[in-house]
Amino acid sequence: MIFLTVGTQFPFDRLVKTVDQALDGRLVNEEIFAQIGETSYKPLNFESVVSLEKNLFDKRLREASSVISHAGMGTITMALKNHKPLLVMPRLKRYREHVNDHQVATARKFEELGHILAVYDAKDLPNGIRKLKNFIPRERKANPEAVADRIHRFLNSLQD
């Protein structure tokens, strides 16, 4: 089962609708369960709920073979922690899905590091879903010393 989640802050009809159309067009063969938030689009081809309590959300994610999501840090972190292949489609400001396009930068960086798959246009989502089946995310290793060093250098640059 693929777990589709869109977060809870803003609707993401574009992602939900595109996944639904991929199922309707038989471009995806796997069952999907989704947490779709407050949305005006109701999927026809998979089971969905508006929201899940934290423990049920965590359970669905753990049981999933893979995850499809917006490019939110919470979902990315959870998927990596649970070793789940993750496909993201960033929310975009021009569609009023978010206040800015920071999710594009997040998706690009995590994709570059081999942690996730990303699509940046809805038309590419079915192909991304096909790739998801065989995708093995690169393990993320925490490096708190490097983070502390970057913060230190930044703070020192403010004194110059």
Domains of the chain with bracketed CATH: 2-159 (3.40.50.2000)
Angle ∠(76,131,38) on CA atoms, nearest 5: 45
**DSSP structural state of residue 82:** T
In tens, the pLDDT along 56-92 reads 999 999 999 999 999 999 999 999 999 999 999 999 9
State the Rg of the chain over Cα. 17
Percentage of residues in the chain having pLDDT higher than 90: 71
Q: Does residue 9 have a pLDDT over 80?
A: no
58-72 burial: b if 16+ Cβ within 10 Å, else e? eebbeebebbbbbbb
Question: How far is residue 148 CA from its own chain's centroid?
Answer: 27
Beta strands in the chain (DSSP E): 2-5, 32-35, 47-49, 66-69, 86-88, 117-118
Confidence of residue 42 (pLDDT cuts 50, 70, 90): very high
Q: How many other CB atoms are found less than 10 A from the CB of residue 49?
A: 13
- Predicted confidence (pLDDT) per residue in 12-30, tens digit: 999 999 999 998 877 777 8
Q: For residue 63, what pLDDT is reported? A: 97
Q: C-alpha angle 27/81/65, rounded to 5°?
A: 25
Q: Note the pLDDT of residue 66.
A: 97
